[in-house]
């Protein structure tokens, strides 16, 4: 099995980071980011012949967004350690001379990978192009060749030149035809245009879009894939629509709000119609209720799962970005599947993170009185994976959630971690300074509403940094659990400037970017806390230091076969 020598060295030496470089305190240890400059959307992730590929939008000339975007490329054997390669697709031809924008990978019969991507052509129109690997015997697929007949899909009539982009991974239906969707809008109506092809070269637009919704604006980075209704396993994109054991997810990025929303429903390929079970509104389901956009999923045949990654942008100023010399990281890869109630997706960090675990600490059945803290010691608090579960009693004492509090983000903003309710705030204080001047609070509140209990999860960045001029917005979302019948659980990945949190076993996810000035490296501390007036019980707390992954290794170091 082919492995890189450098990966073996990492394992042998146990390389890790207990403190970050104070010149670059916000670079991450186990979240993917390029060596320097700008990065945004993940593009064309795939597994091919033993290697995972991660392409991404990149400006190789600086840390700010550019009108000359490229496809950068890294590869991995485990989705944790990454080898940095040369640029894969660059703006060179009339059909992409003004940028190579996002797209997707498909593995064709005969085990042949292809890419569809959006090019900004010489007339600044968004068109869809095809590229293939130059040499299939190259395990890293370093070089990509553009089809000379590009564009294969031109701008539709009546659509503005800059409103047509980001083709999805294709799928093949029972009629043997390939299909893809492309995001668009017309008169503020968001559109998923559907195209089909017999040969992957000649594409015809269907008479009707796969789906469209008024007043949602441009749909970016759409994704369309099946999910099992009775399994946590992933599903290959081309599993037939007639399979009664699958439903279909349609995800769209709403540029006007910089958020990824998704729908769950049924797909009738004969009628070319997608029927969601929920409407698309600003309260519709989202992958993540924090900083999380431009996401892309792919089917991993190695472990029979669907993996999701997304762009997590910066919250600091342009001046800070220029000073750092880089911008943008990617979320830690997540497995996703349909919840057993078929109402939403579940998300969980991929199991490979355990390769990096060190120094586990744990506690059980610990009572936290109102207004108390418990410091989690024995781990590296700036690089950690923390799992905690709370049990609550006397819930009949919970506060009433008034009708004016229907937006959980408003609740989290106006009732921050310092506000003492009956049940809440309780949760974690991540990247905290010794005196708590700096802290990123991830916490829950429990309310009563119309005879049932409502759980709200918050990520409070208001005191995350002493720096001024940065975005310290708080985030919030409902967690669909009944605290009378189950524990309230929280898992949080902490990595210097990113805090990814998973509530209710992965039902609700919130990602935050933070820039502490005091809680850096070894100065960072971690606490479980309860600021409610009622006590809570930590039924179990487990935490690990997370070692530094090997990131951006130059592939010229050399390889060995084993």
pLDDT at site 10: 38
Dihedral (C-alpha) 137, 554, 316, 28: value to the nearest 10 degrees? 100
Q: What number of CA atoms fall less than 13 Å from residue 90's CA on the CB side?
A: 9
Q: Which residue's entry shows tokens 């940065």?
A: 470
Task: Say whether 136 sits in a helix, a strand or coil.
Answer: coil
> Which segments of the chain have a pLDDT < 50?
1-20, 556-562
Listed in order, strand segments (DSSP E) in 315-382 are 326-327, 329-330, 334-338, 345-349, 357-368, 372-375
pLDDT digits (tens, 9 = 90+) for 150-161: 999 999 999 999
Token pair of 111 as six digits? 């085990």
What are the structural domains of the chain? 175-229+236-286 (2.115.10.20), 358-546 (2.60.120.560)
- Which of the residues 41, 163, 316, 460 is marked catalytic? 41
* Inter-residue contact 39 to 328 (CB < 8 Å): yes
pLDDT digits (tens, 9 = 90+) for 477-494: 999 999 999 999 999 999
CB 221 within 8 A of CB 166: yes
Nearest to 299, CA basis, from 131, 141, 169, 130: 169
- The tokens for 184 are 């668009």
78 is catalytic: no
Residues 544 and 212: their CA atoms lie apart, in Å, by 45
Say if CB 104 and CB 167 are below 8 A apart: yes
Is the torsion defined by CA of 401, 407, 408, 414 positive or negative? negative
């Amino acid at each position: 099995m082919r492995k890189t020598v450098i990966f073996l060295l990492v394992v042998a030496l146990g390389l890790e980071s207990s403190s970050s470089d104070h010149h670059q305190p916000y670079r991450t240890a186990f979240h993917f980011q390029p060596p320097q400059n700008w990065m945004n959307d993940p593009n064309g992730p795939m597994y091919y012949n033993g290697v995972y590929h991660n392409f991404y939008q990149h400006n190789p000339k600086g840390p700010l967004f550019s009108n000359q975007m490229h496809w950068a490329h890294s590869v991995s054997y485990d989705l944790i350690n990454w080898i940095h390669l040369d640029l894969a697709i660059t703006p060179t031809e009339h059909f992409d001379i003004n940028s190579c924008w996002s797209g997707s990978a498909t593995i064709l019969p005969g085990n042949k990978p292809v890419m569809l991507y959006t090019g900004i052509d010489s007339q600044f129109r968004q068109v869809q192009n095809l590229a293939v690997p130059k040499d299939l015997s190259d395990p890293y697929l370093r070089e990509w060749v553009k089809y000379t007949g590009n564009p294969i899909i031109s701008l539709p009539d009546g659509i503005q030149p800059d409103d047509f982009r980001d083709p999805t991974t294709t799928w093949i239906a029972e009629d043997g035809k390939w299909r893809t969707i492309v995001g668009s809008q017309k008169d503020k109506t968001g559109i998923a245009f559907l195209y089909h092809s017999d040969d992957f070269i000649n594409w015809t637009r269907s008479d009707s879009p796969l789906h469209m919704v008024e007043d949602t604006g441009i749909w970016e980075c759409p994704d369309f894939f099946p999910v099992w209704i009775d399994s946590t396993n992933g599903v290959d994109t081309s599993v037939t629509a007639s399979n009664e054991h699958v439903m279909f997810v349609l995800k769209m990025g709403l540029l006007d709000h910089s958020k990824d929303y998704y729908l769950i429903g049924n797909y009738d390929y004969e009628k070319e119609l997608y029927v969601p079970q929920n409407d698309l509104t600003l309260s519709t389901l989202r992958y993540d209720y924090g900083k999380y956009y431009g996401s892309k999923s792919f089917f991993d045949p190695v472990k029979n799962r669907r993996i999701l990654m997304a762009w997590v942008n910066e919250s600091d100023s342009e001046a800070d970005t220029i000073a750092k010399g880089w911008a943008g990281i990617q979320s830690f890869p997540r497995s996703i599947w349909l919840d057993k109630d078929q109402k939403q997706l579940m998300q969980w960090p991929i199991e490979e993170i355990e390769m990096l675990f060190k120094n586990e600490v744990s506690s059980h059945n610990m009572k936290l009185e109102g207004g108390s803290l418990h410091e989690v010691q024995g781990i590296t608090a700036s690089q950690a994976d923390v799992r905690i579960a709370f049990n609550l009693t006397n819930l009949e004492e919970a506060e009433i959630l008034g009708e004016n509090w229907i937006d959980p983000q408003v609740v989290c903003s106006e009732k921050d971690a310092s506000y003492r309710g009956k049940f809440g705030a309780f949760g974690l204080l991540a990247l905290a300074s010794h005196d708590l001047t700096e802290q990123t609070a991830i916490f829950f509140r429990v309310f009563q509403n119309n005879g049932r209990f409502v759980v709200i999860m918050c990520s409070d960045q208001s005191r995350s940094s002493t720096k001024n001029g940065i975005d310290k917005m708080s985030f919030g979302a409902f967690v669909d659990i009944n605290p009378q019948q189950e524990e309230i659980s929280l898992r949080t990945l902490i990595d210097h400037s990113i805090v990814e949190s998973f509530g209710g076993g992965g039902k609700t996810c919130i990602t935050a970017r933070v820039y502490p000035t005091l809680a850096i490296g070894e100065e960072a501390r971690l606490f479980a806390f309860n600021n409610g007036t009622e006590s809570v019980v930590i039924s179990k707390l487990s935490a690990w230091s997370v070692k530094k992954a090997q990131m951006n290794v130059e592939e010229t170091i050399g390889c060995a076969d084993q």
